[in-house]
Structure 1
């Protein structure tokens, strides 16, 4: 019999509470992105700033387990990218990583953050790379959360198109099926289904081009890392495997969270938070040197 861990059960309850809360009090803040899209964000705690960016078709509350821990001694900012969560779409038709990066920049500038660590999960990885290009001198470092398994062999345009094609046929059911494979069998099934249902409820006219843009960004990720010249950590899930040497060749320091799928911050929040704290401490030290 599969047992549900207390951590995953807590997250399932949190998602339920978050869904209810979204129709209640106003969030901590909002700002217009460069194209006018309304970007919603939350801020908790005080201290060095950490800005968290969710993945494809996800929401800012996926970082709830990190906010509770890190806000003790950090200023923690969580963002809903345009077209996600509570953020609006405005007139946006451009769902490229550069456009999402502008959402992050708008929040950082609104809050007057002079020195930040940007943390991005999955699609949030290339988003923070693009944000960092516009925030040069203000970024202490980057943390990529299960974004890249390798950086030396990006997919070709034909492979990108093939990866997106099944989602064009039946977006909702294909997304649910894919999300279910992104967790280990030990993960609380209630949480898995809640995540699958939430992610598959996204608008396909946003989600499909965003997926295409995310995968296509592989072709420029290594070059962007070289251009930024800021310290980068990767906290990757145990499955599927990571080509650690490939990431290291591109200047990325890698930490693995064993026995986790694509959402290590949900499956093993305590282990993930320890790894994140160590990464943030190292990034801050390297920036000072």
Structure 2
């Protein structure tokens, strides 16, 4: 009986912390500034799916997708600098340098046909990566990101928001992350994500958030050709028509009743939407 109970606990733990067994291999490569970037790989296929996590997360947040897509694609999940198992010897965590992290992995693996998939802050990161990778990128998929490409916050608003993280990172992050889940979200999942993200290195997290707040995607978007699809929750409004002014081929899909971490909250539904989006990009 004790053995059965232990196995059940182990299954629950793996379900909410990331099933690393689905990845066949873990490697590291140096980014443009010498920081070591850790990445996991699984599967085979002509097309590479490159998954990029969001702010204060890591590559384990994509474990449900690695298992689902590795039969037909080369699946790669990356730890950006300062996150997960990647190096922390970087002074400023900018979207441009994060993009270099992704490009370093893609070039190291000699992937010539990739779809970049980025959650939250990762959406900005993959725009920069796409700029650096050029024709290797056949499509871009954002996950609960790209709500608006135009920034409407003042510098005072941004700095005021950042100050709360600087003053008490753990407490502020816990409240911030909880607010991104709907009231009916699974409590165990919410607590796991809250505890995980609030344990991030504050110096990395604040630097990344500051650079995200002051990042302008429009110049990069105007020079990108790959089609862009975004899969978003319905908690936040999306400026669809405004966004279309900056992207030649843009589409957004919604999942109802989930929060910011839709790939964790309802992975089967999310994987179905992602599968369809990948098929659309491959057929363009």
TM-score, scaled relative to structure 1: 0.88
Moved more, 165-174 or 25-34: 25-34
Q: Structure 1 residue 16: deviation in Å?
A: 4.4
Is residue 240–residue 261 contact of structure 1 (8 Å, CA) maintained in 2? no
Is residue 125–residue 145 contact of structure 1 (8 Å, CA) maintained in 2? yes
Distance 1:195 1:11, change over 3 A: farther
Is residue 12–residue 194 contact of structure 1 (8 Å, CA) maintained in 2? no
Equivalent residue, structure 2, for 1:56: 55
**Within 2, Cα distance between the matches of 1:242 and 1:37?**
35
Q: Structure 1 residue 10: deviation in Å?
A: 6.7
Equivalent residue, structure 1, for 2:84: 85
TM-score, scaled relative to structure 2: 0.89
Equivalent residue, structure 1, for 2:114: 116
**Within 2, Cα distance between the matches of 1:11 and 1:144?**
28
**Within 2, Cα distance between the matches of 1:62 and 1:140?**
23
Give the one of 245, 258, 271 matched to 1:249: 245
Q: Structure 1 residue 183: deviation in Å?
A: 0.9
Is residue 54–residue 118 contact of structure 2 (8 Å, CA) maintained in 1? yes
**Within 1, Cα distance between the matches of 2:25 and 2:75?**
14
RMSD between superposed Cα atoms in Å: 2.1
Q: Structure 1 residue 11: deviation in Å?
A: 7.2
Is residue 17–residue 60 contact of structure 2 (8 Å, CA) maintained in 1? no
Once the two structures are superposed, the pairs formed by residues 170-249 of structure 1 within 5 Å of their partners are: 170-217=168-215, 220-249=216-245
Q: Structure 1 residue 136: deviation in Å?
A: 0.6
Render the CA deviation track for 1:103-123: whole Å, top value 9, x for unaligned. Answer: 101110110101100000011
Is residue 247–residue 254 contact of structure 1 (8 Å, CA) maintained in 2? no
Q: Structure 1 residue 240: deviation in Å?
A: 2.0
Once the two structures are superposed, the pairs formed by residues 108-187 of structure 1 within 5 Å of their partners are: 108-187=106-185
**Within 2, Cα distance between the matches of 1:249 and 1:55?**
25
**Within 1, Cα distance between the matches of 2:129 and 2:242?**
23
Q: SS of the residue aligned with 2:39?
A: strand
Distance 1:76 1:114, change over 3 A: same
Q: SS of the residue aligned with 2:135?
A: coil
Distance 1:237 1:11, change over 3 A: farther
Aligned residues: 271
Unpaired runs of 5+ residues, structure 1, are 1-8
Moved more, 114-123 or 273-282: 273-282
